[in-house]
Chain A
Amino acid sequence: MTLLRRLSLLLLLLTTASSCGKKDTATSGKTHIKLVHFYLDQKDTWQHDVVDPFMAAHPGIEVEVEAIPFGLYTTKILSAAASGSSVGDVVVIDDWFGQELFKRNYTIPLDSLFHRDLKEDDFYSQFFTVWRMGNVANAPLMAMPASGGVTALFYNKDLFDKAGVNYPDSTWTYADFLTAARKLTNNATDPHQKNWGVLLDDGLFTGIDTYIYSNGGKILSDDKTHSAMMEPATIAAVQSYVDLIQKEHVAPAPDPSQLLGQKFMLGHAAMMLHADVAKTELAHATFKWNVAAPPKGSAGLFDRQYGQAFGITKTSEHPDSAWELIKWIVTVPGKKGINELFNSAMPLNRALANSPEFLEGAQKCDRRALLDINNSGHVFTLITPGWQEWRDHGFTPNMQDMLAGRKSVHDGCKAIDEKINEVLSRSRAQ
């Protein structure tokens, strides 16, 4: 037998073998759909709490689940969007790459399905815009919002008790925040004994964006086409943030070699503004802690949002079944409640968010305080084309320099301003 014949035979065998593994709707009598997500740590919870009950309630639909590590997930789904290839029927989408998929119409609009089966009032719909085409209100809804995270004020109850300071609440302003931070900062010179009133970080998504917007400043213009870093209100807000370290000495200078929030996690900072996912990291903290809404600034309470949604890919052959699964995910709590499903972020369905399963969930903190943000505050997003570049090469390094006193606030804001405008204008040109 020639080599060519042997190779042909091998190919034939491989093809047959691969066909055997495929789910066939016609033979099983069920519609087969595939859910792809990146909740690797919660893979079993997703299977037992969501997928199995869904299949029991929908005997005609069979769901295959593929959990992919987050780093690979983004590359895989963005590549699939570029080539138009299929990764599954239902995909979870993070807000920071959602628009990349939407502008390529990789997911289908869900407005008609949404309005047929669900009510907008049943959801925290201020989180919806980021999931609409082009990040514009009233544009087509390209993915069904499922969870939303905000920046929260974390506080160490033990340190508050020790200093005799009242815990923060929803009435707090940044003046109250500063007064408390002064009282909570001790004068110890021994680093092991030193406690700081507040821990400030230098990058986006750790509180500074929330601080700037609440105090009347802006990082981006309202239409997100250019920087607003040089607006006087922004410079004033950044200056007051820097002053907490340089003038008030209630916060340590940021340390890029430390993990975000490390000093708080180790019990050496009484407060920190941080994305509320830190709840998960604090699950094993050795001190008592809680969360509150961030203080109000001169402009009120503005809080940067992040979140996840579920989309139906344009390659799906069963969009109706895929929608049934999405509807189930965003409205039906699992056996363990909704705590674990979205990395402990808040569900956007009001009933789920206000359910005892969520509010009295795994992390012992006042989740109702986070709901207050949705009821009384404004949420905003900073996602733009190329946002990672202006964050990592503009915002973060210059904030580090300003917070450490190596650069004046004016010069730092100017450098950030130039970088943001450079990236955004380059993105527009492309």
Chain B
Amino acid sequence: MKSRSAYLYLLPVLIGFTVFTLGPVMASLYLSLTHYEIAAAPVFVGLLNYKQLLNEQLFWQVVGNTFYYAFLYVPLSVGVSLALALLLEKKIRGITFFRTVYFLPVVTSMVAAAIIWTWIYNGDIGLLNYLLSLFGINGPKWLQNPHWALPAIALMSVWKNAGYNMMIFLAGLANIPTDYHEAARLDGASSFARFREITLPLISPVLFFVLVVTTIGAFQVFEQTYVMTNGGPGTSTLTLSYYIWQTAFSFFNLGSASALGYLFFIIVLVMTAIQFQVRKRWVYQS
């Protein structure tokens, strides 16, 4: 009787999970094996969608763009967040104000931020090039140039998201016992030595978490490219999430989009597995 009641209480969650998570995941797996253009019933085609995608030059270019974005964004984002956390960790007057200021972009709408940054990056009348011109630098047309567009988007994303990781690092830093730093200081250790030998090892589990989450987030980049460049110039900012969305909701090719979704899942899975493997080498376990 008790177990029946337990199942009854679990039922809403189970129904929600089945209908909104497990169901769509399984349905998209099936759809990835079909030709399905929304206006007609799906037709089973086996692995044809996967084969076509893997043979498509554009797919590999999109994968390359996504990795390039992650390569630019992840180290920069983690580095900036950690640096901000180290600066804002100090218990000085008004520090909460600065923490709030640096966290503000996180709660700002990505679309609104992207539109503002589009103007900042404007090659003719943008703020960034104006500031560069004060130093005699002739800035490029950031979003019109295929070499600069993706780095520009990555930089904007760092500004947008650094505050979130900063808060996680701040929580990690707060857990480091002050005795360690005091003892090291008495032994004459420099600030950098204390950071390298105490802070970094002790926040390494937090750093690992931030790295994994930021990497997955980098692979999911969508709003920025959608609003700022539409995947251009050319196809230089076409990333995986945008490509999936375009295939599904612009081309209405849901079979191919589902296959792309699973390929995306495999890529993220492999990347995360590698990170977990490498973890043993550098994450400090107390």
Chain A residues close to B by CB (< 8 Å): 3, 71, 75, 78-79, 81-82, 97, 100-101, 104, 191-192, 194, 253-258, 386, 388-389, 392-393, 396-398, 400-401, 404, 406, 430
Please report the total number of B residues contacting A with Cβ < 8 Å. 34
**Residue from B124, B141, B144, B235 within 8 A of A393 (CB atoms):** B235
Chain B min CB distance to A423 (Å): 9
Chain B min CB distance to A97 (Å): 8
**Residue from B125, B228, B251 within 8 A of A192 (CB atoms):** B125
Q: Which residues of B have CB within 8 Å of A71?
A: 249
B204 at the binding interface (Cβ < 8 Å): no
Contact of A82 with B144 in the complex, beta carbons under 8 Å: no
Chain A min CB distance to B212 (Å): 31
Q: Which residues of A have CB within 8 Å of B228?
A: 257
Q: Which residues of B have CB within 8 Å of A406?
A: 146, 233-234
Contact of A257 with B251 in the complex, beta carbons under 8 Å: no
Chain A min CB distance to B10 (Å): 15
Would A401 and B234 be within 8 Å (CB), given that A78-B38, A255-B141, A393-B58 are in contact? yes
In the complex, A82→B252 CA distance in Å? Answer: 13
In the complex, A400→B143 CA distance in Å? Answer: 12
Listed from nearest, the 4 A-B pairs whose CB atoms lie closest are A191-B124, A256-B232, A257-B143, A78-B39
Contact of A389 with B39 in the complex, beta carbons under 8 Å: no
In the complex, A336→B136 CA distance in Å? Answer: 57
In the complex, A94→B217 CA distance in Å? Answer: 36
In the complex, A341→B17 CA distance in Å? Answer: 44
Contact of B41 with A256 in the complex, beta carbons under 8 Å: no
| 28 A-B interface contacts by CB (under 8 A) | A3-B8, A78-B39, A78-B252, A81-B39, A104-B39, A255-B123, A255-B141, A256-B143, A256-B230, A257-B228, A257-B229, A386-B251, A388-B250, A388-B251, A389-B247, A389-B251, A392-B251, A393-B58, A397-B231, A397-B232, A397-B234, A398-B234, A400-B233, A401-B234, A404-B144, A406-B234, A430-B37, A430-B43
Chain B residues close to A by CB (< 8 Å): 8, 35, 37-41, 43, 58, 118, 121-125, 141, 143-144, 146, 228-235, 246-247, 249-253
Q: Which residues of B have CB within 8 Å of A81?
A: 39
Q: Which residues of B have CB within 8 Å of A397?
A: 231-235
Q: Which residues of B have CB within 8 Å of A389?
A: 247, 251, 253
Residue from B37, B143, B234 whose CB has the most chain A CB atoms within 10 Å: B234
Would A396 and B38 be within 8 Å (CB), given that A253-B144, A256-B143 are in contact? no
In the complex, A158→B251 CA distance in Å? Answer: 41
Chain B minimum-CB-distance residue to A255: B144
Chain B min CB distance to A86 (Å): 16
Q: Which residues of B have CB within 8 Å of A398?
A: 234
In the complex, A97→B251 CA distance in Å? Answer: 11
In the complex, A53→B124 CA distance in Å? Answer: 52
In the complex, A168→B253 CA distance in Å? Answer: 43
Would A392 and B246 be within 8 Å (CB), given that A100-B39, A192-B125 are in contact? yes
Contact of A82 with B39 in the complex, beta carbons under 8 Å: yes
Chain B min CB distance to A301 (Å): 30
In the complex, A101→B37 CA distance in Å? Answer: 12
